[in-house]
Amino acid sequence: MERQANMRRRAGVGIGVATVAAVVTLTAPGASAPAAVRAHSSGPNGQAASGRIFFYANVGNPIPGTKFSPNPPQIRPSRLIEFEDGSWLIVNLRWTGWGGTTARATGISSASNCKPNCAAGKRTHDSARLIVSQPKRFRGRTVYTCFQLTIPATPIANQHDCLRREGSLYTYQPAAGARSGLADFLSPDRRIWCVLTNETYDRHASCLTGYPTNGNTNIPNYSAQVSASGQVQLCNWAPGQDPRAGCVQNWDYNVPVLKPGVVDLVYQYRCTSTTSSVTCTVNTGPGKGNGFRITPTSVSKLTP
C-alpha cells in the first residue's frame, strides 16, 4: 500500500468497500464556450428519457483517451480502472438503479503492493461500493460525470471526483468539498509546500514558503509547524538577516496540488487551501483546533 498511500494520488492497497457518485454536463472539446453543466431530463421515476446513460470507467485516464489508452463510455461497466497498469482495479461491479439520477454498485477492490513490481506484487482484495450520479449531456451522450469511491479499509484512498476540462481534454478532479489524503502537497499557486508526518518520533504538519527560485535568494521565508498535541512553531525570515536563521531549506515541486475546496484529512490533521494560502489544524485529540495559516507573505498561529 506504500505506493498508493504515498501518492493518494489515487489509490491504496487493501482498499475496502467503495462508493461512487457522479454527474456533470460539459461542453465538448473544441467548442467556443467553456465547459458547462447542462440539465438532464428524466422520466417520472427518475429514469433517463432515453434509458441510456454512460460512464467513463477508466477514471485514471483523460477523456476521450488515446489510441494506446482508450477511454470509451460504457453502460454498467463491470470494473473501474484506477491505474492504467492494472495495479488497482474495482472489479465484479453489480449495479442497481442504472439509468436514474444515481446508480449504485458493489464490487471488489483489487490492488497490488507493487513489490518487486506491480505485475508481480501481492494483491489485496476487499469489498467495494460505487455510486455514480448527476447525469448530464457530454460529448453527445448522457453521462454520469462525478464519482465517489469509499474504501472503509483504507480511507486515504477514498475519492469524490467530477469531470473537469483541462485544455482539449477532460479529467476527473476532486469535487468541491471532497476529501483527500495527501501526506505532502503544494498550494494551488505552487508557492507553499506542506508535509504531514506520523512517525513515532516526529508527528506534525508543517508548511513553508519562500524557496529561492532562479538563483534568487533575496526572498522572505515563512514556515509553520503544528504537533499532534497542538504546539505551534512559526518562523519568519527576511533578506538581510543571518542566513543560518532561514526558514526554508528543502523543496519538492513534484508533489500534487491541494486544490481549493478539497479538505485534506491525514493522520490527526485537517488542511485546506485557497489560491495562495494553506490552513492546517489538529483535527482530533487534546490539540484539536490549534494550527496555522500561511501565505507567501505571512504566517499566523490559529487557536480554537
pLDDT digits (tens, 9 = 90+) for 168-218: 889 887 776 666 778 889 998 889 999 999 887 788 999 999 887 666 677
> Is the predicted pLDDT of residue 38 greater than 90, yes or no?
no
Q: How far apart are CA 144 and CA 177, in angstroms?
A: 19
Give the domain range for residue 245.
184-302
pTM: 0.55
Do 27 and 168 share a structural domain?
A: yes
Ranking 87-96, 214-223, 278-287, 295-304 by mean pLDDT, the lowest is 214-223
Domain boundary among 175, 203, 229: 175
Give tens-digit pLDDT for 146-168. 998 888 887 667 788 899 887 88
Residue 259: its pLDDT value, please? Answer: 81
User: Is residue 67 located within the same domain as residue 215?
Assistant: no
In terms of domains, do 62 and 109 share one?
yes
Domain count, the chain: 2
Mean confidence (pLDDT) of the chain: 80
Of the three residues 123, 153, 175, the one that is the final residue of a domain is 175
Q: Are residues 43 and 91 in the same domain?
A: yes
